[in-house]
Amino acid sequence: MWFQAELYKLLYGSPSLPHALLIKGARGIGKQIFAQSVAQALLCEDRSAQASACGQCAACTWFLNGTHPDFKVISPITDEMVEASAESEGPKLKSSAWIVIDQIRQISDFIHVSGHRRGPRVVLIHPAETLNPNAANALLKNLEEPPPGVHFLLVTHRPHSLVSTILSRCQQLSLPLPNHQSAIQWLTDQGVSQSELALALSSGAPLLALSRHQEGAFNGRNELFAKISQADFDPVSTADSLSEQPLERFLAWMQQWTYDINSQILINKVRYNIDFKSKIESISNMVNRNSMLRLHRLLIREQRTVQHPLNTKLYIETVLMAYSAAISTKQVTDVY
């Protein structure tokens, strides 16, 4: 992975590793994998100086098999876990988008009995912004005075969504975007064909790029942009051709597309759609600047708030008409 320097600094730098660490940074850069590496290094029983986990000792073997008794991961309960628990004895769990208080109560038991290996115990909580208010309160008590040798690792890409009392009890570590070349190489190794483009479309976050690639989030994008690169494209038939695309995806594409046009005008730079650079350059020469800025701001707002309009096709048409008006040199009354 690309965070070796950060890992060494955390393990061997000064000040020493705190008992509660909040690992934050952009979505899809590998924060959780980093947290796992920290946990494995802490639990490894044959760690030589200035190195991370050995990968060979009994502790590393358990860790890699997901069975280390002194390591606990807390995440929202998924449907698969509910099915598994339904087959077993004991309390039945409900699927949830949140980390709930019962899960935090389990931590109290875990950290207050002595560790199986008489070494450190590690609790990894991710995504930490999914702690519901009761769970956050319960966690607070554990963070205040944890027993010696207990480490909490909280992972989030939305630290502002955490309550301030949790934030104030954690030391915060901000992970940067991975090195560009390492990220490209990694994506290529994962079988992503246009790794450079996938990375640009995902703001430099390689895990996000990989998951988008795998879920087909880039399919259909070329066709749309090829059409709307033409000044005389037809918003109605273009909207027709988008009927299979999720609305959120269309809005995300349009938001990046209008960002690029504005960025090309203002600083001569295309950030996302690097494969359409020359088209974006020509559009930027004929565009109505104010309309394009307004449209981009509108798309950001819409992306945050859009639920599902009654008539999705009409909604897409309206966005495309506004865009069509903005790239027209003729003065057209704005649709919005």
Residues in contact with Zn ion by the rule CB under 5 A:
44, 46, 53-54, 57, 60
Least separation, in Å, of the C-beta of 298 and Zn ion?
53
Nearest residue (CB) to Zn ion, 122 versus 239: 122
Q: Nearest 5°: CA angle at 329, between 324 and 332?
A: 60
Least separation, in Å, of the C-beta of 2 and Zn ion?
21
Cα dist from 284 to 48, 114, 203, 217, 270, whole Å: 56, 65, 21, 26, 11
Instruction: Give the full edge-to-edge strand order of the sheet including 150-156.
Output: 71-74, 121-125, 150-156, 20-24, 171-174
List, in order, residues 6 or more apart from 32 with CB less than 8 Å away: 126, 155
Nearest residue (CB) to Zn ion, 37 versus 255: 37
Inter-residue contact 258 to 289 (CB < 8 Å): no
Nearest residue (CB) to Zn ion, 53 versus 143: 53
Helix (H) or strand (E) segment spanning residue 155: strand 150-156
Give residue 138's Cα distance to chain centre. 26
Inter-residue contact 70 to 54 (CB < 8 Å): no
Instruction: Give me the residue label for tokens 């200035």.
Output: 50
Least separation, in Å, of the C-beta of 73 and Zn ion?
18
Inter-residue contact 174 to 24 (CB < 8 Å): yes
Distance (Å, whole) CA 2 – CA 172? 19
Least separation, in Å, of the C-beta of 27 and Zn ion?
30
Nearest residue (CB) to Zn ion, 39 versus 192: 39
Nearest residue (CB) to Zn ion, 29 versus 43: 43
DSSP 122-151: EEEESSGGGB-HHHHHHHHHHHHSPPTTEE
Nearest residue (CB) to Zn ion, 1 versus 265: 1
Least separation, in Å, of the C-beta of 55 and Zn ion?
6
Least separation, in Å, of the C-beta of 52 and Zn ion?
9
Nearest residue (CB) to Zn ion, 54 versus 265: 54
Least separation, in Å, of the C-beta of 3 and Zn ion?
19
